[in-house]
Structure 1
Amino acid sequence: MKNTQKKLKAKQFRHLSKDIIKNPMIYIDEYFRHQNSIITWQNDINLFVNAGAYPAMSCSNLVGNGYHCKEMIRQIEVAYVIFKQCRIAKQVNPLQLFETQADYCNYIENLEFTCNGKRDPQYLISKFFSFQSLREWYETMDDLMSYLTVNTSNEEDKFGDSIVVIRELLIRLGFALSYIYEDDGLFTKMPSYLKAEPDEVPDEEMSCSQLSEM
């Protein structure tokens, strides 16, 4: 079966190298192994979005807002690569946050994002890009960052109620990448008649790449 999907290129993104586009696990493994835990990252996202939506809450002298914004954009790009390479389907209703009672209980009791009781990074990534395209997420992040340059809040409400959705989906995306890190890759169910033809990956990178495994 011929693959007609266009290859992603570095020039399509702001912060991704060719190597990371070829193997997103390079970034995911390095970030969650050496830079941040998911709980700390969740708090960073929460503070950043709050300050971007209401600049009076900003603590610009204490936190690295520019760094956090860049990392959020980088993670959005990494997730987009996975979204396209794994051909993840969009959802009709991405704002339906819980599929079952078990998913609700997992969130309330364990702060775990599940689909039908199981952790599913693809499900979370699908919600993220079903709500907005990559271009629209770029615009959202740019707006949040630009608002942080304002010393005081004004009467203009740039985001409205959507700020709640933006914060929730950014946090869920962070958890999706964290789950991929904890599982050493992303496992996808594929029809038995399909054969995988993964791109050539250097030997030293093979251990952390399972994105193409069946």
Structure 2
Amino acid sequence: MMKNTQKKLKAKHFRYLSKDIIKTPMIYLREYFWNHTNIFYWQNDINLFVTCGAYPTMSNGDDTENGFHCKKMIQQIEVAYVIFKQCGLPKHRNPLQLFDKREDYYNYTHDFEFTSHGKRNPHELISKFFSFQTLRKWYETMDELMQQLTLKKANDHDQFGDKIVAIRELLIRLAYALYYIYEDQGLILPVPSYVKTEPAETAKCLKE
């Protein structure tokens, strides 16, 4: 039986989420992707933010909205965490395995689409994201990137090392996971044929 985790998720546990969004994450996804940006612009914003945070010399400083983009990324990490907990998604054994099948590699390289066994699979992307790092660690990573952007130029200390490649890839993949959920108007979870489902408070992330 799925453990009811929603009672443990309260606004005070997050930086930016309201209780309404915690109750129904689709509120945020509809508002953000309908009113604020499209996924292609957002992907570029994430890529630029992480690149400049890893190596501040490449940043234009006053010409970019670094603080705004950082806040939006943290909000989306929090929304994804709510979905992760409410839907009882399991941890992934190999979160940095990019492709399950050759078809997934083809979909990525030719269409820039994130699939698992040939199908878009947002719950898999969210699972990998929080299997790589906890929510607390993602907070630390985003804070460190933002702090780096306050520097005029890169210092000799390698803040992130090779890990920055995984951080950027996972942030972009998380953005697409949330976009897929928005586009599909919900999250479809695979269950065995003998399992019967019914609406529940912990499944509101799946509902309109």
2:198 to 196, 199, 208: 196
- CA RMSD, 1 decimal: 1.9
Please say which of residues 167-176 and 56-65 is displaced more in the overlay.
Answer: 56-65
Please say which of residues 185-194 and 129-138 is displaced more in the overlay.
Answer: 185-194
Q: What secondary structure, in the 3-state scheme, does the structure 1 residue paired with 2:152 have? A: coil
* Runs (4+) off by over 6 Å: none
Name the CA distance, whole Å, in 2 between partners of 1:6 and 1:173: 21
The residue number in structure 1 matching 2:51 is 50
More helix by share: 2
Q: Structure 1 residue 5 and structure 2 residue 2: aligned?
A: no
1:198–1:158 CA distance, 2 compared to 1 (3 A): same
The residue type paired with residue 57 of structure 2 is: A
Q: Over residues 14-47 of structure 1, what are the superposed CA-to-partner deviations in whole Å (9 max), with x where a residue is unaligned?
A: 0000000000000001100110111100000000
Structure 2: give runs of 5+ residues left out of the alignment.
none
Q: Structure 1 residue 211 and structure 2 residue 206: aligned?
A: yes
| Cα offset, 1:63, TM superposition | 1.4
Name the CA distance, whole Å, in 2 between partners of 1:183 and 1:2: 24
Name the CA distance, whole Å, in 2 between partners of 1:39 and 1:12: 30
Q: Contact 2:76/2:175 (CA < 8 Å) preserved in 1?
A: yes
The residue number in structure 2 matching 1:206 is none
Structure 1: give runs of 5+ residues left out of the alignment.
201-208
Name the CA distance, whole Å, in 1 between partners of 2:83 and 2:6: 14
The residue number in structure 1 matching 2:148 is 147
Taking only the aligned residue pairs, the percentage that are identical comes to 60
Please say which of residues 56-65 and 102-111 is displaced more in the overlay.
Answer: 56-65
The residue type paired with residue 135 of structure 2 is: L
The residue number in structure 1 matching 2:39 is 38
The residue number in structure 1 matching 2:186 is 185
Q: Over residues 35-82 of structure 1, what are the superposed CA-to-partner deviations in whole Å (9 max), with x where a residue is unaligned?
A: 011110000000000110000011222210000000000000000000
The residue type paired with residue 206 of structure 2 is: L
Q: Contact 2:83/2:205 (CA < 8 Å) preserved in 1?
A: no
Aligned residue pair count: 206
| Cα offset, 1:152, TM superposition | 1.1
Q: Over residues 122-143 of structure 1, what are the superposed CA-to-partner deviations in whole Å (9 max), with x where a residue is unaligned?
A: 0100110000000000000000
The residue type paired with residue 5 of structure 1 is: T
Q: Contact 1:196/1:212 (CA < 8 Å) preserved in 2?
A: no
The residue type paired with residue 101 of structure 2 is: T
1:155–1:210 CA distance, 2 compared to 1 (3 A): closer
The residue number in structure 1 matching 2:139 is 138
The residue type paired with residue 32 of structure 2 is: Y
When the two structures are superposed, what TM-score results if normalisation uses the length of structure 1? 0.91
Q: What secondary structure, in the 3-state scheme, does the structure 1 residue paired with 2:159 have? A: coil
Q: Contact 1:99/1:116 (CA < 8 Å) preserved in 2?
A: yes
Matches within 5 A, 1:116-127: 116-127=117-128
When the two structures are superposed, what TM-score results if normalisation uses the length of structure 2? 0.93
| Cα offset, 1:198, TM superposition | 2.5
Name the CA distance, whole Å, in 2 between partners of 1:2 and 1:147: 41
